[in-house]
Amino acid sequence: MGNIVVFDLDGTLVDSMGDIHVAVNRMLDIERCELISLERLTSFVGNGLPTLIKLVMQEYCLPETEYQRLHDMVLGFYETMPVEQSKCYPGVLAALDELRAQGVRLGLCTNKPHGAAVHLLEALELADHFEVILGGDSLAERKPHAMPLLHCIDALGSGAVLYVGDSEVDAATAVNAKVDFALFTEGYRKSPAKDIPHKVLFADFAELPEIVRCNFEGD
Ligand SMILES: O=C(O)COP(=O)(O)O
Ligand SMILES: [Mg+2]
């Protein structure tokens, strides 16, 4: 029996909006729409690419019949573009190394499409840290449904579990899966941290190994 930590990706390990913004704006440019601001697009992230595309389409009154074509265009750009603007939050790599050195088993559960998640994780040399990587399109359900998080945990074995994420969707996922939640406050949440259910919160990844140790000791 070991300890398990599962991470969200966008807004938690990686500040990834810059490249998502480029991919969406390439599509909008082709469709002869005005470009969207980074801030507005960031407010659409969290429930996966299909939802993000639908919200962008609503914003520009684009017909629903165009959904699949526009979705596939953005995904095609995003999965093949070099990762240029996306950056790990400070201290992420050191924290992952330290957790692994403590014998903690690591998984990743994101709403980002699996192929795009792996593309990003490999570019930032993060992929090898995780024994399991689940994307928003990996299973029949996506977060906030408990299914992907529980599936990830099952694949990692048994033990005490902490889920680490940045958003309301992640907090709801943890509640649905009955798993302890650590809220990273510097990502893409929309509400005040105090209004998002969490067991613990942190703003600096240097704090995470100690948080994990204390959380698991308390179990
Ligand atoms: O793709 C999204 O909308 C969010 O991705 P995340 O689950 O890694 O935050
Ligand atoms: Mg996130």
Which residues does ligand 1 sit against, CB inside 6 Å? 8-11, 45-49, 52, 110-112, 136, 167
Asked if 48 and 112 touch (Cβ cutoff 8 Å), the reply is yes
Q: Do both 136 and 203 map to the same domain?
A: yes
Do 183 and 109 share a structural domain?
Answer: yes
Residues of the chain with pLDDT under 70: 1, 218-219
Residue 54 is predicted with a pLDDT of: 98
pLDDT the model gives residue 135: 98
Beta-carbon contacts of 207 under 8 Å, excluding residues fewer than 6 positions away, are none
- Residue having the nearest C-alpha atom to atom 9 of ligand 1: 10
Q: Are residues 109 and 202 in the same domain?
A: yes
ipTM: 0.97
Ligand 1 centroid to residue 143 C-alpha, Å:
9
56 and 70 housed in the same domain:
yes
Is residue 204 within 8 A of residue 50, CB to CB? The reply is no
Residue 211 CA to residue 188 CA, distance in Å, equals: 21
pLDDT of residue 217: 82
What atom of ligand 1 comes closest to residue 46's alpha carbon?
3
Q: Are residues 104 and 184 in the same domain?
A: yes
- 110: domain range? 4-15+86-217
- pLDDT tens-place string over residues 149-208: 999 999 999 889 999 999 999 999 999 999 999 999 999 999 999 999 999 999 999 999
Number of domains in the chain: 2
Q: Within this chain, do residues 131 and 59 fall inside the same structural domain, yes or no?
A: no
Dist. CA 163 → ligand 2 center (Å): 12
Mark which of 43, 59, 80 sits at the end of a domain. Answer: 80
Contacts of 132 (CB under 8 A, 6+ apart): 107, 108, 152, 155, 156
Which residue, of 29, 64, 80, is where some domain finishes? 80
